[in-house]
Amino acid sequence: MMLEVLSDWKTLLWASLSFLVPFSISKLFGWFFQKERSNRGWNKEDNTTSASHPAPAPENLPRKLWKDWPPRDMLGENLQSNLSILGDQLGDNTDFSIRKFKIGHTETHAAIVYINKVSDLKTIQEFVLKPLMMDLGHMDISNLEASCDFKHYVKDHVLPLCTINEIQSLYQVIEGVLTGGTALLIEGIPGGLMLGTGSTVPQNFEEPTSEALVRGPKIGFVNALDENISLLRMRASDPNLRMLKCEVGERNKKNLVISYVDGIADPNLVDEVKRRIESIKIDDPLDSSYIEQLIEDNFMSPFPQVQSTERPDRVIASLLEGRVAILTDGTSYVSIVPVTFSMLLQSPEDYYVRWIPATLIRLLRFFAAFMALLGPAIYISFLSFHQGLIPTKLAISMAGTREGVPFPPFLEALIMEVVIEILREAGLRLPKPVGQTVGLVGGLVIGQAAVEAGIASPLMVIVVSLTAISSFAIPQYDAGIALRMLRFAAMFSAALLGIYGVVMFTLFLTIHFVKLKSFGIPYASPMVPYRLNDWKDFLIRAPLSMMKLRPQMMNVQDQTRQREDPKEGK
């Protein structure tokens, strides 16, 4: 009786398959996902941050809020006490260095405090340590009994430096050290000397090739970890910027640094990043991509859950939003966690131009992402199943262009898309001047030849070309790859069930998209869950004067990033 009621029993069959097949695949992927998490030693509770299962902050990791800065402690005569206070303020940084020594042949203890790579080590060795430890050993300084006389003697007669300033407070020490200076503290003498030993930015920094901008800093990371740390230090003098160094690799050790801003980043997020990195048991992580793949939440997802960038300004902006950066030795890419999909469609240039053109360009990127994902699928579905929805004149024109084409729309689109992907890959692997020529000329020649040979219609070439160009408009290469891969799944869905298949594909993709998390942060944020304040930097880029709060999704310690009174919190 049921078959008699239905106009076509095949419709019921296709509808059942469209539900059962994705459901079975999702269950199978879920089983593989849970098994892999068990192999890594992760469980569901460990995968979340304080948004759902808060964990206690570690006792050995001090958390100083911005409002407690700057400290007003004065430097006393006790050297060890001064160094202890400095250690509490800057001791979490692996590039923070204290060098203790004795002055000349005396028993007077002294110490220098500096940030490695931000200060010039050669200048410190030649013009600070050598005069104080060796040259003073041949001088008679016994008549300099008063502490102030000795400090002035060192300043005026011993240290051959252009810039030497007297300092009295802990604030002056930290401020000077973070900008490349070296603090000299001497036992029994209150205060100290700030020595001008700042290092200049090396000239080997180049503009990032994968994230080019029209307006903005033309500088990118390099393959040396120490140079990348110094680059961040020179561009961000926040005293709460932390650099925690650790090693990864069972056979070949690889150094990496976990960077975050203490007092902004969620302590539980920092602990989760440290825990996942410490759980890595691989022989040799050759690149930061190894680290990204081993710490991501869902390895079965096509979407990247860790953002990689070559731009220091993007890293600093992310740190000030409460995120964590991972710098790996031997690569120019820095990993940022957690990440949301909207971040992958944003460019640093959005904040270097006025908000109206930035908003229009961002909306254009979202439209390009939609076209890169569903453009060919919608064309196939309308041409194969829903010709009645096409305007009459357009339908007649499309039928005329397809005259003589021997393939159905799906196979026609599949052939052209595969050819475009091959050309794209060939252009990437060839030398840069040759690759650009191959990509441009190859696409024009093959497209024209396909139309003349009757293999593809002119409208199909236009659709495929528009899709390929739209994928280039996505700032993040990893996000573009994900959409290119999902495009073929959307095409298969459209070839099976038409627009109904496209809707079902979009529905299942949306379900996965909403369930996906990156270090406990929903991947669809700020769209889901809805947060009105975070929408100021989502589809639109609101004026900078309106973005006074950090993203609520990050559960940061200091929510305010733009205060009405600049003196507030001091």
* Tokens standing for residue 544: 């900078």
Amino acid at 268: N
Q: Please give the residue that has the higher pLDDT: either 158 or 204.
A: 158
Q: What confidence tens digit (pLDDT) does each residue in 474-514 have?
A: 888 888 899 999 999 999 999 988 898 999 999 999 999 89
- Band (218; pLDDT cuts 50, 70, 90): confident
CA distances from 322 to 88, 348, 401, 555 (A): 21, 17, 54, 8
What is the mean predicted confidence (pLDDT) over 201-222? 78
Angle, helices 458-472 vs 432-452, to 10°: value is 160
pLDDT at 158: 82
pLDDT at 304: 92
Q: Please give the residue that has the higher pLDDT: either 137 or 384.
A: 384
Does residue 28 have a pLDDT over 90?
no
493 close to 501: Cβ distance less than 8 angstroms: yes
Q: What is the DSSP letter of 541?
A: B
Cβ neighbour number for residue 507 with a 10 Å cutoff = 11
124 close to 159: Cβ distance less than 8 angstroms: no
Window from 139-143, 217-221, 227-231 with minimum mean pLDDT: 139-143
* Tokens standing for residue 322: 């409460």
Q: Which of these, 112, 151, 157, lies nearest to 139 by C-alpha position? A: 157
pLDDT at 433: 67
Window from 144-153, 252-261, 362-371, 462-471 with minimum mean pLDDT: 144-153
Q: Please give the residue that has the higher pLDDT: either 408 or 451.
A: 408
What is the mean predicted confidence (pLDDT) over 516-532? 87
Alpha helix positions (H), 345-408: 355-384, 392-401
Does residue 60 have a pLDDT over 50?
no
Tell whether the torsion through CA atoms of 168, 172, 177 and 181 is positive or negative.
Answer: negative
pLDDT at 459: 87
Highest mean pLDDT among 119-128, 332-341, 455-464: 332-341
Cβ burial 364-380 (10 Å sphere, 16+ → b, else e): ebeebbebbbbbbbbbb
pLDDT at 55: 39
Q: What is the DSSP letter of 75?
A: P
* Tokens standing for residue 231: 């680059």
What mean pLDDT value characterizes the chain?
80
199 close to 114: Cβ distance less than 8 angstroms: no
* Collapsed DSSP state (helix, strand, coil) of residue 84: helix
**φ, ψ (nearest 5 deg) of residue 119:** -90, 150
